Amino acid sequence: MNTPAIHLRAIEPEDLDLLYRIENDTALWNQGITNVPYSRFTLHEYIANTAADIYADRQVRLIIENEKHETVGIADLVNYEPRHCRAEIGLVIEQPFRRMGYARAAIVQLHNYACTVLHLHQLYVIIASDNDSAIRLFESLDYNHSSTLPHWLYDGKAYHDAILMQKFL
């Protein structure tokens, strides 16, 4: 599959609807640590008040756009640790754009940013152990399965394992 051309850009006030949709998508809650809905006001305040500076915020949220300037998702570097030169990747691709190579393209650009701008030593991701497509994607980008995190994620009914994957840059 050819990797599509994308552009990562800073979040803008016009991205409020996208952010609202993604942050309140309950299907995504079982894949990560968020499990509360966010109001439009809260997200508006986040957009207005974020410094968009990974050093100040310890995270950076970037919007993924395709060649047609359509917003296809969000790519995050979170849990930034300057002392240890590492950060965690967070990634959501909107449903109509999944399985088209946008996730791979965004991760490759995050790698480049992490290496050339932030001078990070490692990136890592925590993936639900049943998210086979995400695991395969990160494996194909030379991430190594470092450990299994037993009972890491709770869906309201049962606990599920997660996998910690790392890439040294």
pLDDT tens digit sequence for 31-65:
655 666 778 777 877 777 777 788 888 999 999 99
Q: Quick one: CA torsion of 29, 33, 39, 43, rounded to 10 degrees?
A: -120
- Among candidates 89, 127, 94, which has minimal Cα distance to 111? 89
For the range 111-118, what are the long-range contacts, defined as Cβ-Cβ under 8 Å and sequence gap of 24 or more? 111/141, 111/167, 111/169, 113/8, 113/77, 114/77, 114/87, 114/169, 115/169, 118/54, 118/77, 118/80, 118/87
Q: What is the mean pLDDT of residues 2-9?
A: 92
pLDDT above 70 covers what percent of the chain?
93
**On the CB side of 1, how many CA atoms lie within 13 Å of its CA?**
12
Contact 54, 77 (CB under 8 A): yes
User: Strand 122-128 to strand 86-93: parallel, antiparallel, or no bridges (unpaired)?
Assistant: parallel
pTM of the model: 0.89
Helical (H) or strand (E) element with 21: helix 16-23
Q: What is the mean pLDDT of residues 138-159?
A: 94
At 83 the pLDDT is 94
Q: What is the mean pLDDT of residues 163-168?
A: 98
**Confidence category of residue 66, pLDDT binned at 50, 70, 90:** very high
